[in-house]
Structure 1
Amino acid sequence: MTSSLPEGLSFVIPCFNSGRYLQEAVDSLRAQPHDFPYEVLVVDDGSDDSGTLRTISACAGLPELRVHRLGRRCGHHVARNAGVRSARFRYVMQLDADDRLATDPVLLAEGSYPDRSVRILRSDPTVAFVHTMSRMFGDFDGLTISSYPCTEELILHKHHVPTSIVHRHEDAVAGGLYDPQVVKWGDWAFAVNLLAGRFRRGAGNMIACIPGPLHEYRVHSTGQRVSGAHVSESAMTLRVVERNLDLFRHRLGRGDSAAAIARDVLAMKPSRLEDLIRMADFDLRQALTVARQRRFSLPSPYEALGIP
């Protein structure tokens, strides 16, 4: 499959009443050193907060920025899908309206995360997407506990996938984008859909990692972030497996029912200890820092804050 879109990167930011953070997100994207053409596409998911509407209107006048208005509240997955579908460039990265990309010159000495990701995807068609580590800020500071390179195998074992992956527009569309019915763990489901779509076309599913951390994830101790919602993980996992049963059966080497595979996938989800061991294998110093930050408690006392 050859994309008809021009080479460049579309940043998609869904926004519902996140005006006090949106400007930071947009500014962090525009502050990246860009070698490739890019656009910032803010998808207004029916915001009704006056401050947010003012911020969106102010952003609309910036170079390389477009606003896509849904007109009514549709939900963040619908907003993400609308943004991806209307993207003008071949590669896409999504960013939550309250998050940022790192702008520290030291971290950007080898180039920006978006540019480096585009170069990888452009040069290696076997790579499905690129990811980076996330540094949390706000009500908690430190790396997420899944800060190590990801693989297709890990993802099919319910490994965390960040929102900020960089991928090809065509792969996201072919995979079916976000499933609005997967109201939690949606980024994981999106990644599985993308991988399954490539699997069906006979494409490779390698995953590249740019350590960083070049993504900044805002932690809220209070608020309505989706990660804090009470949703059945088993039901969400089953829906994803049912939708992509061919991929799971092939990669896991078994012909069981979707329900049986979903139970096993959920059981294979890495514990925090397993995450820490994998992180130590990748970067021991980083793992020791995270262990100290989490007060050596597994499970972590910060789980109540939705800190990954």
Structure 2
Amino acid sequence: MPPPAASGRVSIVIPCFNDGAFVGEAVQSALNQTTPAADVIVVDDGSTDPGTLEALERLPGGVAVHRQPNRGLPAARNAGIARTRGDYILPLDSDDRISPDYVELATAVLDERPEVGIVGGGIELFGIQESRRRPTYDGVAGMLFENHLYTCSLTRRADWEAVGGYPEQARFAEDWIYWLRILGLGREVHLLDETVWFYRQREGQMTRSMDSRTASNAVIQAMRDQPELYAAHMAEVTDYLELKMQTLDGFRRRYGRLNDALARIRPLLGRQA
């Protein structure tokens, strides 16, 4: 069991796999908070890159490093959270950064509003692509079939424990399923006006956008994980399925006509040969 919480309220967990070029920046942004975190832990998820191993050895004092065999991102987050002591949890990817006031702003919300279970804010993309974005949230129904929240959001340790943490069996959309688990507890979402997360864009980066097939599989995973939540919104589920059926029927009609045309053309091509 982790020790009792220190003066800080937030634990910052940074999973790292062969990301030594950037993990120092992520850690420094975690340490530069106007309200210090209870603890900062880096989870080395089986890194094999010598540069990463050296970078982890050079991290500032006071930053804990937990090493484990490669188990994937959700398992790394859970392992790190289990070793922290804060009342609130902030996951930070090892190539990203957070603003100096993120912990202070989010802690104030969670302290004052016990009904809130997720706190996020504005996002700035940097690197090979630069832009600013804001997450949106208009209720649980809007989250059932598309994830509108982002990785670097704060949650309560008590809620993480209540829902069993991040879904370690998920191959993708683990954040989305985790948010749905918390929303299933009846929690609310608060989005800060300030830009608090700096999301690095780089070559070779695993995309966080999903094609239609992957998105559909993610919905199936989420429905299997949270059947009661989806059952409570059966009208929205029915509308979603009807829209999917209409789309499928449209493809069938379109490609059916194409197949008919090809069937008529093939004999003519054979005569010309």
2:95 alignment partner in structure 1: 98
Residue 122 of structure 1 deviates from its aligned partner by 1.6
Where 2:169 maps in the other structure, the secondary structure is coil
Deviation per CA, 1:16-35, whole angstroms, max 9, x where unpaired? 0000000010111111211x
1:193 alignment partner in structure 2: 181
Mapped to 2, the partners of 1:158 and 1:150 lie a distance apart of: 12
Q: What is the TM-score normalised by the length of structure 1?
A: 0.71
2:61 alignment partner in structure 1: 62
Give the conservation status (yes or no) of the 8 Å contact 2:177–2:225: no
Letter in 2 for 1:42: V
Specify whether residues 100 and 185 from structure 1 end up closer, same or farther in structure 2 by C-alpha distance, changes over 3 A only.
same
Deviation per CA, 1:46-98, whole angstroms, max 9, x where unpaired? 00111111111111x422x111111x211111111111222211110001000
Letter in 2 for 1:12: V
Specify whether residues 67 and 82 from structure 1 end up closer, same or farther in structure 2 by C-alpha distance, changes over 3 A only.
same
Letter in 2 for 1:53: L
Deviation per CA, 1:181-230, whole angstroms, max 9, x where unpaired? 3222221111011222x24xxxxx2211112111100112x214252687
Q: What is the TM-score normalised by the length of structure 2?
A: 0.79
Bigger CA drift: 173-182 or 123-132?
173-182
State how 1:26-41 maps to structure 2 within 5 Å.
Answer: 26-34=27-35, 37-41=37-41
2:105 maps to which of 102, 116, 124: 116
2:49 alignment partner in structure 1: 49
Deviation per CA, 1:153-206, whole angstroms, max 9, x where unpaired? 32224232211111101101211222233222221111011222x24xxxxx22
Residue 264 of structure 1 deviates from its aligned partner by 6.8
Residue 150 of structure 1 deviates from its aligned partner by 5.5
Letter in 2 for 1:126: E
- Cα RMSD of the aligned pairs, angstroms, is 2.7
Mapped to 1, the partners of 2:209 and 2:144 lie a distance apart of: 23
Q: Does 1:132 align with 2:131?
A: no
Letter in 1 for 2:53: L
1:218 alignment partner in structure 2: 200
Give the conservation status (yes or no) of the 8 Å contact 1:98–1:218: yes
1:178 maps to which of 166, 169, 172: 166
Residue 37 of structure 1 deviates from its aligned partner by 4.5
Give the conservation status (yes or no) of the 8 Å contact 1:136–1:218: yes
1:233 maps to which of 196, 215, 238: 215
| Structure 1 segments of 4+ aligned residues over 6 angstroms from their partners | 228-231, 264-267
- Which one has the largest radius of gyration? 2
Specify whether residues 192 and 138 from structure 1 end up closer, same or farther in structure 2 by C-alpha distance, changes over 3 A only.
same
Specify whether residues 154 and 265 from structure 1 end up closer, same or farther in structure 2 by C-alpha distance, changes over 3 A only.
farther
Residue 263 of structure 1 deviates from its aligned partner by 4.1
2:228 maps to which of 241, 246, 249: 246
Bigger CA drift: 186-195 or 15-24?
186-195
Where 1:132 maps in the other structure, the secondary structure is strand
2:85 alignment partner in structure 1: 88
Give the conservation status (yes or no) of the 8 Å contact 1:113–1:214: yes
Identity among equivalent pairs (%): 27
Mapped to 2, the partners of 1:171 and 1:136 lie a distance apart of: 29
Letter in 1 for 2:61: L
Give the conservation status (yes or no) of the 8 Å contact 1:152–1:207: no
Give the conservation status (yes or no) of the 8 Å contact 1:11–1:41: yes
State how 1:269-288 maps to structure 2 within 5 Å.
Answer: none
Give the conservation status (yes or no) of the 8 Å contact 2:136–2:149: no
Give the conservation status (yes or no) of the 8 Å contact 2:30–2:98: yes
Residue 38 of structure 1 deviates from its aligned partner by 2.0
Letter in 2 for 1:191: W
Mapped to 2, the partners of 1:92 and 1:129 lie a distance apart of: 10
Give the conservation status (yes or no) of the 8 Å contact 1:85–1:173: no
Letter in 2 for 1:237: V
Deviation per CA, 1:255-297, whole angstroms, max 9, x where unpaired? 97xxx68747989xxxxxxxxxxxxxxxxxxxxxxxxxxxxxx
